Amino acid sequence: MERYQDKVVLITGAGDVAEAAAKRLLCEGAKVAFSDFSQEALDAAISGLKAEGWDGERLMGIKCDVRKYEECEAAVNAVLARWGQIDTLVATAGIIRHCPIDEMTEAQWQDVVDINLTGVFHAVKSVVPSMKERKYGHIVVISSIGGRTGRPGVGVNYAATKAGVNGLVMCLGYELGPWQITVNSVAPGPLKGKMFAGMTQDRIESLSAGIRLQRMGELSDVAAAIAYLGSDDAAWTTGEVLDVNGGLQY
């Protein structure tokens, strides 16, 4: 089933979740543009996908710092110039700076807020005009279980931004509905990303404790949720936060 045939997807970020989402969407027929502040990350994501056999003509990389609205706007314009439309935005760009609040610096607070929350605002704001013009679009934002409930090892900066994007999503679902633009978020639990390989067994067991399905999540689990919410299968779903956490919290 190719739900994304003739569709164009812009993904902010080029990390684990972004790559997994891109693979899933490419499988379903999409053209995919990555935007990231790191040229190295962009090159790695695109070269990795090409090495797996994906057509480079369906891939695009744009250097973009989501902290700067003008760069987000330029990224959107670059995609529109090449492919003429953006059907789905997937906002994955984010950072982690976990530490206790009494040890957290102003810079650690602000860096996370600027990228995880203001960066989402910039990405969405930049793509909405073209979606409004077409009266069509899907926006998927990556939140976290850390924005839904207290979690060990989750800093207040990260938790606040992820809770903030959930609020943004609920508000925008209401605001953008008349233009047939859906806005939803995915809130993953603990995932087997690149950092997983370096974790101690004690850390893995701590993260996994309480997961009713008795395993940590795969990146493909989150990619499947993104693919659903970013497609026309979810055309009547908006303003929702989809928890993908194996029953750890709901």
C-alpha pair distances (Å), 219 with each of 16, 148, 160: 7, 19, 23
Question: Residue 142's beta-bridge partner residues?
Answer: 186
User: Where are any strands of DSSP class E within 127-200?
Assistant: 137-142, 181-188
The answer to whether 66 touches 74, Cβ cutoff 8 Å, is no
Q: Do the Cβ atoms of 127 and 178 come closer than 8 Å?
A: no
Active site residue 158: yes
Of the candidates 155, 245, 159, 153, the one whose C-alpha atom is nearest the C-alpha of residue 200 is 153
Q: First CA to last CA across the chain, in angstroms?
A: 30
Q: How far is CA 249 from CA 55, 115, 141, 188, 243, in A?
A: 39, 25, 19, 10, 8
Q: Give me the sign of the Cα torsion angle 30, 31, 36, 38.
A: positive
Identify each DSSP E strand in 44-93 by its residue range. 59-63, 88-91
19: Cα separation from own chain's centroid: 10
Active-site residue, from 158, 174, 228, 250: 158
Active-site positions? 158
